[in-house]
Amino acid sequence: MAKFAEIKEFMLRQIESGAWPEHSRVPSENELAEQFSVSRMTARRALQELTEQGILYRTQGVGSFVAALKSQSSLLQIHNIADEIAGRGHTYSATLVQLTELPCPTIVATALGLKRNDPVFFSLIVHLSAGQPLQLEARYVNPLQVPLYIQQDFQEQTPHHYLSMIAPLTEAEHIVEAIWPDNFTCQHLQLKKPEPCLRLTRRTFSRDGAVSLAYLTSPGSRYRLGGHLNFALPR
Residue 234, in any domain of the structure: no
Candidate ranges 85-89, 162-166, 169-173; pick with highest mean pLDDT: 162-166
Q: Which residues of 177-201 are buried (b: 16+ CB within 10 A; e: fewer)?
A: eeeebeeebbebbebeeeeebbbbb
61 and 112 part of one domain: no
Q: The CATH number of the domain where 140 resides is what? A: 3.40.1410.10
Q: How far apart, in whole angstroms, are the C-alpha atoms of residue 172 and residue 39?
A: 39
> How confident is the model over 26-40, as pLDDT tens digits?
999 999 999 999 999
- Smallest CA-to-CA distance from 92 within 125, 129, 135 is with 129
Q: Domain of 11?
A: 3-66
Q: Are residues 7 and 29 in the same domain?
A: yes
pLDDT number for residue 223:
77
Reported as a pLDDT band with limits 50, 70 and 90, residue 73 is: low
pLDDT at 206: 86
pLDDT of amino acid 129: 92
The pLDDT of residue 61: 80
231 pLDDT band, cuts 50/70/90, is: very low
Residues 108 and 220 in one domain: yes
- Determine the pLDDT at residue 226: 58
Domain termination residue (choose one: 16, 36, 66)? 66
Residue 50's CATH number: 1.10.10.10
Residue 232 belongs to a domain? no
Kindly state whether residue 55 falls inside one of the protein's structural domains.
yes
14, amino acid identity: Q
Q: Which of 45, 66, 87 is the last residue of a domain?
A: 66
Residue 235 covered by a domain: no
Whether residue 88 sits in one domain with residue 48: no
Tally Cβ neighbours within 10 Å of residue 22. Answer: 12
Q: What pLDDT does 70 receive?
A: 54
Between 18 and 109, name the one with better pLDDT. Answer: 109
What is the Cα–Cα distance from 107 to 130, expressed in whole angstroms? 35
What tens digit of pLDDT does each residue of 93-139 get? 999 999 999 999 999 998 999 999 999 999 999 999 999 999 999 99
> Which of 61-70, 72-81, 134-143 reaches the highest mean pLDDT?
134-143
Q: What pLDDT does 144 receive? A: 95
pLDDT at 228 > cutoff 60: no
Q: Is residue 124 part of a domain?
A: yes
Kindly state whether residues 107 and 26 are assigned to the same domain: no
